[in-house]
Structure 1
Amino acid sequence: MAGAQNSELSVAERRKRLAEKRAQEAAAAAGDGPAQGATSAPEMPLHDLVHNPRNARRDLEGVEGLADTYEAAGVLQPLLVVPVETFRAAFPEDAQGLPGAGYVVIGGNRRLAAAHHAGLATLPVHVSAKLTTRGDILIAAATENIAREELKPFEELDTIEELKAELGTYDAVAKKLGKTGGWVSQRRRLHHLQPEIRQALESRTPGMTIELARSLGKIKDREQQLTAWRGAQRAAERAAGPAAGKTPKPKKATRTVPPQGGSGESLSGAVKARRDACLLAVAAGAGDLARLSIIAAQAPVPPADAVALAERWLTESTIGPSAVNLATLPGDEGTDRQKQGALALALAHCELHATSTDGADLPHARAYIDWLESHTDYQPTNAEPVPAA
């Protein structure tokens, strides 16, 4: 059965297949094939092909490895190109750096670089007859890069902003890319990152992930954003284990969260992905707490289990489990910290209920998943039951 086969794939593999499918659909929509109005040329000399001067990918990584593949198996996927004169008319500001004739590569700039590295003489191409305007070319290049997940976070952001300048609204950008408005909004959060956090993302500092960066981008206050980032760093350091040469301190006994997968089995990948998203939301202290509280109030779960899961998230995000300790609430814990405690507890109620019912509580499941998608970088996987309308 197709569904059973798909469930055996990892989340990364499923996303890769989906990206490949979207890239093929985008190429067809852009005219990358005779059935869509493109004329094809089986092979074209490399000296007739030039890189797209507006390519969003600043660094063409992995060229040497791709070149090795070409030497062994050849180039299987054609490049998408347009005549130089077409590109020059659409982007007159880039005309000076273009040759007098030939073709500009819209889809496949890394393949072109690898072909040069491998010493190939020709490449298979599709010459698009449909890409004639500035907007058409920008959308075709962006769709291929984004569908293949080839852009770095800030390259992706720059692409979205360039398309917005061309199309007028972010809703139009999302529609052209085949994405949701929430997908675009998540990536625009990088605009709000403080320089220190932006640098951490670009340099791949331990503890920094694109999901965390997007969550931090929701925090507009500089000090709060930096505090949340420092907390995430400390959590990553603890997860990595004790420093070399140091004897780890004995851990205090804590309440454990009972397995919620049924019959004591380990949590599924879909559940783990949700809980990772919850942890990031708690660490950032962001999101619509009022709406989440309404959802949580309708999620019947054992209170002790919810508190235990909330305490785990609060501990891992360095906020501390006392944020949900009734004995400390009247004291000077601080308003922000108490809000993070409330956020963790509400998420724990929703998460435990969603896991125990396996998505059968459709109205509640829809509301909970909608909250996660709106306020974190969470995306449902194919292995997870998708609530129906």
Structure 2
Amino acid sequence: MKKLSMALLLIMCVIVSACGGGSNAGNANTGTSEGTPAPSESSSNEPVQNEKLIVYTNANSDGRGEWLIEKAKGAGFDIEIVGAGGADLTNRLIAEKNNPIADVVYGLNNMLYENLKKEDALAKFVPSWAGDVEQGLNDPEGYYHGLVKQAILLGYNPNEFTADTAPKDWTDLYKNDAYKGKYEAPTLLGQNTPRLVVAGILTRFQDPNGDLGVSEEGWNEIQQLYDNGVSAVEGEDFYANLANGKTPLGALVSGTLQQKEEQYKVKAGIVSPEIGVPMVVEHAAIVNGTKKQATAERFVEWLGSSEVQGEFAAEFNAMPANTKAVEQANESVKELFTSLKPQEFDWAFIAENMDLWAEKIELEIMQ
């Protein structure tokens, strides 16, 4: 009996030892230490939670904002768009920089983004698609990246003018009596397009000794521009006035041409000045201080992708900055950009002075 008991005890020890070894092997495979539970499979497979984003933009008109909201919703993003003129949005972002409301801003041009960078209102973020953007369009420091190329055009009603009788440059509008009182002057200087029209004239008269870097001759030209034009009315669609003949001459943005032509049944003529046209790029950036950084990064990754920009280009007759999306752009916009010469701009000079130019024009010239 004593020998049998000893044998049973030995067998029990072997069994216990084997069980313990199996447990240790199991822990080694899960990569956890004693007392630390392994993450469950269900938690690793849970979908990413996207918080609601506040998105500032000056590029939400003519159905573009509604289109983006729906597309973003389909991709799992809940966004609220706050739209305003580019200059107004820039000032708002600077005013809010210590307590930001927006998470993402898109649509502004590099002139405005440079001001935001200077005010530390942007967060550095380089999306994966940045390398697909046409060379030279992104911010080299990584704060903003190109979405859409836009040309600021001088357009005319083809029922009022022909290619021969239309002006050949912006300066013709106020120097030729045939156009006086027939063009919309760029009076809404809280918006980006009027500012670029003004910049396109003032930069021709750059003078380090002049008032705000512009010669007296340049300011005289701007005075004539406003004296001989028709003031824009807040809320009125310029293309409607071009189509009905109220102001058959004025500024158009390349990205809205197709929609406007279809809406008003008038195909505007386009002027191609020898000096070139203001050519700008709309960019996307993340607002510095957002409490939703991860969601904002995912949204920007999605927004600037070749798939989304290609769809946007086809829908709104836009010219994408993303080279992989260009093939989806409409042939008409490809032809337009091929025919246009970009006007050379000193963007640093413009960014430094544009707010001061606008203030001088509003206080001294438009009065």
TM-score by length of 1: 0.24
Rg (Cα) greater in structure: 2
Structure with bigger strand share is 2
Higher relative contact order (CA 8 A, sep 6+): 2
TM-score by length of 2: 0.25
